[in-house]
Every structure is written in structure tokens, then in C-alpha cells.
Amino acid sequence: MRTDDIKSVVRDGHVTLKGEVEWDYQRRRAADTALRVSGVTGLTNEIEIKPKVKPEDLKRKIEDAFKRNAEVDAQHITVEAEGNKVVLRGTVRSWAEREEAERVAWLAPGVTRVDNRITIDYWRVAGDRAARLRTDVAEEQESTQHQKRETPSALLTAAYTARMTWVDDTALQLVAT
């Protein structure tokens, strides 16, 4: 970003920023910088984001970023890019994952708007935990079977059960019974 890409007009302590930048962080940084100047009483940010990237490249860059980000389950999120606007759809396991997906989308060059339509699927979380518990139990039973050479019918009498309980308003926990 060159300094001549942004123009400022000051009137009675109110700053209006105009110009074009390629990234949203540049637009926000210009506003933050202007607000730190002594005597500034207000700000209007009219800086436009003009990407040098095509919508199909934008979509690919965001999808690639999701795949690199361990906190975002990329296979359950779809990305649509129309110009410099992005729509995110799909399901994730938590609010944190939803917010991270939006943050990652905003980091792509030229994004001016992110419409986050991702929903949180708490049952998928419970299902994932239940599947891990079943796998752990099966592995434990298998190792026990090899160690003690128990018959399969003896293992069936030691069946593993679990119940789901609410930890708080947003999280389910599987508890062994």
C-alpha cells in the first residue's frame, strides 16, 4: 500500500478517508492510524477494497487456507465467491471454529464482505466423541481378549454404555455408565 493510495479530508476534527487498497487489513489499519491522531473526533472510512484477484482464485485461496488451518474442518465448509464478496456455508463443531472460518476468509486478498452462514452441529460433536469412545472400547476389548484369551460371549457381558449430559448450555459430554 502506497501512501498516495489513500486521501484524507479533515473538517472540524472529523476525518474522512478515501481511496483504494487491496486488502481489508490495510483499510482497517488506515482507520486505526487516523483515529490515533490527536484532535480527531470522528472517522468515516470510505476506502474501497479493490482486489487484484479473480473470484475463482479467491474461492480457491480461501479453500486452501481452510485446509492448512487445523482449527477449521474444511470438508464441511463450502465457499462461494461473487466478485469480492464471500459466502460461507456448511457445518462446524463449535462457535470458535465458525469464527475462525470467517477470520480465515477475511484474510484472503480483496475480500470486502463475508456472509457467514455456517451452522454449528452439536450432534456431530457428540457423534464424533461417541465414535472415538466406541473405537477406544473396541481396542481395549481386543487387547483384553488377546491378553486373557476370553471368549467373545464373555466380552459381550462387559458391554460399554454411555449417556450424554449437558456440561453447560452449549456442550454435550459423553459419560461412561
117 phi/psi in degrees, rounded to 5: -105, 20
Domains and CATH numbers, the chain: 3-49 (3.30.1340.30), 55-120 (3.30.1340.30), 123-176 (no CATH)
The whole-number pLDDT of residue 32 equals: 92
Report the alpha-carbon distance of residue 141 to residue 24 in Å, rounded: 54
Report the number of secondary-structure helices (H) and strands (E) in the chain. Answer: 5, 8
Dihedral sign of CA atoms 107, 110, 112, 113 in order: negative
Per-residue pLDDT of the chain (177 residues; tens, 9 = 90+): 555 688 999 999 999 999 988 878 888 999 999 999 999 999 999 998 887 777 788 889 899 988 888 778 788 899 999 888 999 999 998 899 999 999 999 988 878 899 999 999 877 666 666 666 667 666 776 766 655 555 554 444 444 444 555 555 555 555 554
